[in-house]
Structure 1
């Protein structure tokens, strides 16, 4: 029997890749049949970085994922402050929600399957602003996931301990019987406040395996 009755996983940056701004802007421009000019891409990247540090954006990001509508509003405002035109902003927002923008890390299917084989339940706990359930089958992991707890459906977001309580309820597990795996202590660390053993992965160096085999070692 596995050490933990349930394993809770963050989504982006943990199970699926999160491409940088340069990649996303380039893809958005290409989707609009616009030319890819390095200086223009660099200016857009810098604009997004600068906008992301403005007090207005930092404040709204504290609750932007509490609803899909709010998430879009905050994101589009950031794009506006970054100097992106409406067409490019809409393309960038659309591309961010496409599964092809966020491929699975290559070791994910094998690790999730092994976790299920050991008798643990799997729950996705994400502050994403759209429903990823419809995409799980396309990723080839839909049959492995027992439940999804998505912030925008409940009105609060990480690191609010209420979300991790919902995840435990979905997994039918107590805090001491669960393991949370994420990539940001500032967000996923809220699980520790809920009494859940929490593993924070380091930033990925590339698109190779995420190193999730460590989870299997913790289940022994």
Structure 2
């Protein structure tokens, strides 16, 4: 393998917990909100899968079903899908639904996995080009910049910027082209077997990591270094 593509959420970074996500909005609000109300609301938001990058919803409402399937193909669809999920939960202020969505796009909402910097830095030292291929509805580049990882990424291929989403091989092909890499000598690293596994159709080797909390996966990315020349 002479080039590496990485997924974003659950692979290089993990989003904050639903409790932290909600508290980040509540802290800036002037609406009275007791701790008991906070706990119930956080549990309800988690149950409906309202946090992008968190767990998938157990059930997608019928009125959101079509948008949900293609949510990563545009910024508007992504926002509509996730705020639609959160609106299943009654919040003290309806404006919080958009505020929560906005919160998840901030660098503060994301934490790199403990070995992400080490692995990316080592790949750069070896001269191995790196791309990030993500199903997403917003620009994640500021997250990488804020956490000091942008210097190690040669190309970003984001679904909403191309109107296609993984597992469509075209997204991986675009990334390989941006890196000047042969797909047959490119490794795709991700946590979603269906979405990230789409790279195999292009001839890429695929390596999966577990989508776990940051504290539970201290060195899940290090095996990548053994797979790359």
| Alpha-carbon contact 1:113-1:144 (below 8 Å) kept | yes
Higher helix fraction: Structure 1 or Structure 2?
Answer: 1
| Alpha-carbon contact 2:111-2:214 (below 8 Å) kept | no
Is the aligned partner of 1:46 residue 2:53?
no
Superposition deviation, residue 19 in structure 1: 2.8
- How does 1:128-139 map onto structure 2 within 5 Å? 128-139=136-147
Structure 1 runs (4+) greater than 6 angstroms displaced = none
- The CA RMSD over aligned residues, in Å, is 2.1
Q: Secondary structure at the match of 1:159?
A: coil
- How does 1:159-178 map onto structure 2 within 5 Å? 159-178=167-186
**Mean Cα deviation higher: 210-219 or 15-24:** 15-24
Deviations 1:19-76 (A, max 9, x none): 3433322333233254332233323333447674334434322211111112112222
Is the aligned partner of 1:146 residue 2:154?
yes
Instruction: State the alpha-carbon separation in 1 of the partners of residues 108 and 89 from structure 2.
Output: 25
Instruction: State the alpha-carbon separation in 1 of the partners of residues 45 and 34 from structure 2.
Output: 14
Structure 2: gaps (5+ residues): 51-56
Is the aligned partner of 1:212 residue 2:213?
no
| Alpha-carbon contact 1:51-1:81 (below 8 Å) kept | no
| Residue of 51, 66, 73 corresponding to 2:80 | 73
Superposition deviation, residue 140 in structure 1: 0.9
Structure 1: gaps (5+ residues): none
The 3 A distance-change label for structure 1 pair 135 and 44 is closer
| Residue of 200, 209, 212 corresponding to 1:201 | 209
| Alpha-carbon contact 1:10-1:124 (below 8 Å) kept | yes
Is the aligned partner of 1:14 residue 2:7?
no
The 3 A distance-change label for structure 1 pair 82 and 210 is farther
| Matched length | 217
Superposition deviation, residue 120 in structure 1: 0.9
Is the aligned partner of 1:122 residue 2:123?
no
